[in-house]
Structure formats: structure tokens, C-alpha cells
Amino acid sequence: MDSKKTCDNCGSGDAVVHLTQINNNEMSTYHLCETCAAAKGLETAEQQVNAPLGDFLAQMGDEPDPPEAGHEAEACSFCGLTFADFRETGRLGCPHCYTTFESYLKGLLRRVHGSTQHVGKIYLSPDPTRTELQERLERLRRKLRTAVEHEDFERAAEIRDRIRSIEPAGVNPPANSST
Amino acid sequence: MDELSQIADFGLGWLDASGSFAGIVLSTRVRIARNLQGHAFGPRARVNDREAVLRQIRLTAEKAPTLEGATIAELPELGGRARRILLERRLASRELLGEPNTGPARATAVVLAARDPVSIMVNEEDHLRLQGLASGLQLKEVWHLVDRLDEELGQELPYAYHHEFGFLTSCPTNVGTGVRASVLMHLPGLVLTKEINKVLQGLSQVGLTFRGLYGEGSEVVGNFFQVSNQTTLGRTEEDLVEHLETTVRQVIQFESQARQVLLRDAGQVTEDKIWRALGLLTYARSLSFEELMNLLSGVRLGVGLKLLPNLRVYTLNKLMIFTQAAHLEQAAGRDLPPAESDVHRATYVRRILAREGAVKPNDESEAPEGPPES
């Protein structure tokens, strides 16, 4: 086996990335350490495994969506996550990040999911507003119809119970929700 | 060791092969990712965030009917072997277990329901990962179980929710419904007839993806593929589940056709491979887990083709779970270095096959068993 090579760029680190380039029909090979490889925009196999979405996001970076220059340092006021952190890990820091990075996330979500609009279950917080109740009731009624059409009566009964548990509150919002 | 009594038989219900197409579809799993308002997500959560999340879950678990009598096990309090058993039963993820040298983070836990096959991972990448696991193809049934648990928890817990993006998750690939439905399939026919790549490409074209036995990042061993939805936003939960079910039914059909092709065009070779696999399992004195999985794949194909009528799918499922390293150590009552583990694995397989390999066809009367006696 070959002995470990040192980095062609800085001459100190162990080379972990071996890059073969062909320029004007001439092939040249570079051996780079992790730091220098990262500086040149290359990733080691290990990094790719750790941050698959990060890699994906990096590719997305070529498109016009990413925020204007200087945005990398923008941080979430709640958890402190920066945009650069997000690009590196592919993970957001807290619920508030979705608001902080909303404009960028919309583009990303459209590419990943083909949509930005949630159409599934509507969450009814323990302290819901009248609109939330209304939306949820409508959705449950639609589900009830589907269950009945499919003759899934056990499921229908369950959904009916959920509707019943909301309905009175929908007409008269609970007293504590007005505060 | 005592902490093992906490885990007991959790996560083993699917072994009984009672679901539809249980020969080809081992199990159905549906998980829902949820987070609580006011706390950083898993990777950035501080100890007090995680402790607050766990405290809220404990309080809510007391009120949720589905969690009546549930077991809540905090991972740092469990021994290493018990944690690995949770992993081997797919009740905990590698991430929840933490790095081997540091162990699980504080306030990581699993909540195991007593009645239904549902459980929760607490303080993983997301604060809550609800999951249901059942035998065969039972997507709607499992979805309903997990959905009900989610409803019960949602009435008490302040979920992080966005009017446009839906339920918020640490990774944007899970946002919206937070639902990942997956089906563990055994597809030797498609692999042997070399049709598998076409099928897998087809899956990605319809927004589905596949992984190995242990989920994300794991390799495909023994022709077992975990097929799941890729996207979580922009479709209702019911749509996601139904779409997966429709596609999985097609794959089952392709697999059945491929098996018939194998029998027709290469009957002798196929039959020989199957009997050889059974022969090795019956007599080997040392088996690595990977070798075992490959042999079990052959034997499972034989059972599917009705070439081995005396073997039940339940027995094969059991052999998959109880031959994993931590389960073997549990049976032996001590740690086992790899070489010894291989010997224990082969011994266990021989014992079970000697006992259950000669069960009469269609005899379903025997109830599933707990862990092997030590």
C-alpha cells in the first residue's frame, strides 16, 4: 500500500482527496488535505455522508434563489443558527428559523417537494383561533365523506367524534382563547 | 440487565406474519415527525430544552388514551445492550443512541405503548418521532394508529406549526406532514432476474425512495428493501400513504411474476440454491449476520415458492431479529466478541429450525414467542 501523501497545496495536512483534472488533454493529479479540499469546494466522502442535504443545498447554490451576498452570516434571532450553518448541516435550528429564512426556504421546498403549501392535517393548537377551528372542521368533514364513500365506518366514527369534539367550540370559542 | 424487562416484547408484534403479503412485505412502518414550540430542534437543543420536552411528554403521556400503561425508558439510564436491542427492533435510531464513545444525550427516551404497536422517540433529530410498526402491508391501518396518537398528543402539546409550511421539522425534507411511510420488502425475484434496477428507478420517478434494512444510510442486505415516500409537503397524509400502497402493490406483482419466471426458466438452479441455503442454516457452526441474511433470503424465497412448506414466515422473521448481536448477547447473558457471536448465531438458528422447521403446513396455532431462553 502507498504511504500517506501530504497535501500538495499546504504541504502539511494528510492528503485525503485525490483530484484528477484534465486540462488541454493533459492529465494532472492533486492530493489535498481536507481543509484545502474544502477551500477548493471539494468534499471528502466522509463529509458527503454526514451532510447529504448540505451537498444538495450547495448545488442549489448555483441557482438564482439564494439570498444576496452577505446573507450567509444572517442568523436566527431565536437559536442563533446562521444561514452558513444551515448550508453546512442541512438542518434548521428551531421553528423560528423557518420565518428567518422563509424566502430562501420557499425556493428550496419547491425544488425538494414540488410545493411550498402544506395541505395535510391542520394543527389545532391547545388554544385555537376561530379560523383554525373552521379550517380544521372543513378538512375533517372532507375526510368523513371519504371514509363513508370507502365504507370505512370504523374510521368514519372516529372522525365524527373528532368533529363533535370541535364543533361546539367552533360555535362558541372557549373563553380563554380571547385573551 | 433488569432494564431489559422494561423493553420485554416491544416491537416484536410484526414477527407473527399476520399482515397481507407477509411473505414479500415483512413490515409496514409509519412515522410522524413533530416538534414543540419554543425549543431548538434536536441537534441544537440544549440540555434544558431536551429536559423540558421530555417533561412535557411525560405529562401528556398520562392523559393520552393510546399511551395508557406505556413504558417510558430514558436512554442514558438503560445499559448499552438494552439500547442496542431497541435499535435492532427499530424502536430507536442510531442517532438516538449517540456516538459509541459518548452514548445517548441527556433526556433522550423512547415511549413504548402497551396495547398498540406504536412508540415515540423523544429528542432525536426532532423532538418527537411517533411511529407504528406492523406485519405485512398494512399502511392504512398503521397510519390510523399513529394518526390517532398524534391527535391525542396534539391536543396537549404546543406543536411547531406554520400556516404555509405545516408541521416544522429540523430537516426541510420532512416538513409539512412530517410523515414517512415505509414498507420493508423482500425482492429476491427482481434481484435474480436483474429487473430490480428498473423497479428502483421507477420508484424514484414516482416520488418514492428505497433504503436498506436499518433505514437511512444502511446497505441493502439479503435482498431486503425499505420503500418509502420521498416528499412530505404538498400532499395530504392519506394521499402519501395511498400512493405508496398503490406502488407497493405493483412491486409485489412484479416480484411475483419474477419468481414465476425464475421457476420456469431456471427452476433447477433456483431450487438448488434454496435447498443449499436451508442446508447451510441447518448445519453451519458459525454464521455472520450478513451470511445469515443472505441464506434467509434464499430460504424465504423457497417458502414463497412453496418449495419448503414446512417452514413458516413467522420462524424466518424470528430468525432475523433474534440473531442480531445484542439479542444474542441478551440470550447468552454476557458480551460476545464477533467470533463467538457467530457461533451463538449458528447455534440459535439450528435450534429453532430443528424445532420449527418441521411444523405441519398451515399450522398457525402456535403463538409468537418472546426472546429465546438463555
Mean pLDDT of B32-54: 94
What is the per-residue pLDDT for B43? 84
Counting every residue written for chain B, the total comes to 374
Residue scoring higher pLDDT (B298 or B217): B298
Asked whether residue B360 carries a pLDDT value surpassing 50, the answer given is no
pTM, two decimals, is 0.79
Closest Cα of chain B to A23: distance in Å?
Answer: 34
Q: Round to whole Å and give the CA distance between B112 and B242.
A: 27
User: Which residue matches cell numbers 399513529?
Assistant: B146
Q: Round to whole Å and give the CA distance between B123 and B171.
A: 14
Confidence class for position A124, pLDDT limits 50, 70, 90:
confident
Confidence class for position B124, pLDDT limits 50, 70, 90:
very high
Mean pLDDT of B314-333: 94
The CA distances from residue B158 to A123, B36, B57, B155, B292, in Å, are 9, 6, 11, 8, 46
Q: Round to whole Å and give the CA distance between B49 and A76.
A: 17
Dig out the grid coordinates for B93 from the structure: 435510531
Of B44, B148, B179, the CB nearest to A93: B44
Confidence class for position A128, pLDDT limits 50, 70, 90:
confident
What is the per-residue pLDDT for A10? 73
What is the per-residue pLDDT for A133? 79
Asked whether residue A47 carries a pLDDT value surpassing 70, the answer given is no
Whether B40 sits inside 8 A of A79 (CB atoms) is: yes
ipTM of the complex: 0.83
What is the per-residue burial (b if ≥16 Cβ within 10 Å, else e) of A11-34?
eeeebbbeeeeeeeeeeeebbbbb
Dig out the grid coordinates for B29 from the structure: 412502518
Assess B114–A contact: CB distance below 8 Å, yes or no. Answer: no
Whether B233 sits inside 8 A of A95 (CB atoms) is: no
Interface test with B, best of A57, A76, A81, A92 (most B CBs within 10 A): A92
What is the per-residue pLDDT for A58? 53
Asked whether residue A42 carries a pLDDT value surpassing 70, the answer given is no
A68: exposed, middle or buried (C-beta count within 10 Å: 0-12, 13-18, 19+)? exposed
What is the per-residue pLDDT for B14? 87
| A·B CB contacts under 8 A | 118
Asked whether residue A55 carries a pLDDT value surpassing 70, the answer given is no
Mean pLDDT of A87-102: 93
Assess A103–B contact: CB distance below 8 Å, yes or no. Answer: no
What is the per-residue pLDDT for A41? 52
Spell out the residues 6+ positions from residue B316 whose beta carbon is closer than 8 angstroms to its own: B296, B299, B300, B303
Alpha helices in A90-129 (DSSP H): 97-100, 102-113
Asked whether residue B362 carries a pLDDT value surpassing 70, the answer given is no
Assess B283–A contact: CB distance below 8 Å, yes or no. Answer: no
Asked whether residue B6 carries a pLDDT value surpassing 60, the answer given is no
Per-residue pLDDT tens digits for B221-244: 789 999 999 999 999 999 999 999
Closest Cα of chain B to A3: distance in Å?
Answer: 29
